[in-house]
Amino acid sequence: MKRVLHALPLAAGAIALCLGTLAHSGELQSPTAVLQDLLEKTNSLYLGQSEQNLMMMDDNPSLWTVEDGEELFHTARGPNNISLEECDFGKGPGVLKGAYIELPRYFADTKKVMDLETRLVHCMTTLQGFSSDDPEVKQRHGSDSDMMKLQTYIAAQSNGMPWDPQLDHPMAKAMLDAGEALFFRRAGTLDFSCNTCHGDTDKRIRASVLPNVNSPEEWSKAISWPAFRVGHQHTRSSQHRLRGCYWQMRQPGVIAGSEASIALLAYWTDRARGAPAILPDMKR
């Protein structure tokens, strides 16, 4: 079997045990170790609610998705037969390390604030020459989709780093403000807003403890997507999660890549600012 990733978290775990403080450099940490650090710091009910999940995290199937994404990213594809190595995710062409935790951000070439998914679509259509109807671009969901493979690989290059969405451009700040308004906006037959369920610590729906947007440590795990959703048996994206949130509120579905979706992602990322990302994460 050429897949060797399953050995990686184990090795990282062993190194973390041996090296103690050195493991906090970020470089050596596995997503599991990032979560365990957060748990030690906070004792959060939400973070610790699934012991079984924690036990499975070193074997997170999304680690395969990362591997598949790596191969795809570096392969020449599309009508232009070019890889994504020229794609600029904000830190320069092909620079992936730490790129995801700085998104969404403003891009001068498109004059738009973009999240990971929209930026990826931009590069696949402009650089590689795919049309937006090609399955490579159009299929957004499921571990087998190119989109999830690529997103999960790119995001994993920010594991353990503190969320730091870039607000240097006024447009980015405007999107953040719009996202805040959306987060608190009550609507629909249930008259819920996101804040109704995510504004306090230890709110529950049946047995599930919900993450509090006011706790960067809890919120960091909440927004750590792509993640493996055990209940779905698939790696899922931020945009997919967001859609689920609106469904949960019985409000109309948000369109992936719409300005509203990016505004909300700008706000939710900002609320985790400074807390370390867990990428890829594993959810119930």
Residues that bind ligand HEC (CB under 6 A): 192, 194, 196-198, 205, 208, 210-211, 222-223, 241, 245-246, 248-249, 264, 268, 283-284
Q: How far apart are CA 267 and CA 166, in angstroms?
A: 11
Closest contact distance (angstroms) between CB of 247 and ligand HEC is: 10
Nearest CB to ligand HEC, comparing residues 119 and 241: 241
Closest contact distance (angstroms) between CB of 88 and ligand HEC is: 27
User: What residues have CB less than 8 Å from 239, skipping those under 6 apart?
Assistant: 115, 117, 140, 256, 257, 261, 265
Q: Is residue 116 within 8 Å of residue 265, measured between CB atoms? A: no
Closest contact distance (angstroms) between CB of 235 and ligand HEC is: 13
Closest contact distance (angstroms) between CB of 162 and ligand HEC is: 17
Nearest CB to ligand HEC, comparing residues 23 and 182: 182
Radius of gyration of the chain (CA): 18
Q: Is residue 218 within 8 Å of residue 47, measured between CB atoms? A: yes
Q: How far apart are CA 217 and CA 280, in angstroms?
A: 16
Lookup: tokens for 202: 């230890």
Nearest CB to ligand HEC, comparing residues 148 and 197: 197
Nearest CB to ligand HEC, comparing residues 100 and 268: 268
Closest contact distance (angstroms) between CB of 271 and ligand HEC is: 10
Lookup: tokens for 158: 């920010």
Q: Is residue 176 within 8 Å of residue 267, measured between CB atoms? A: yes
Nearest CB to ligand HEC, comparing residues 84 and 194: 194
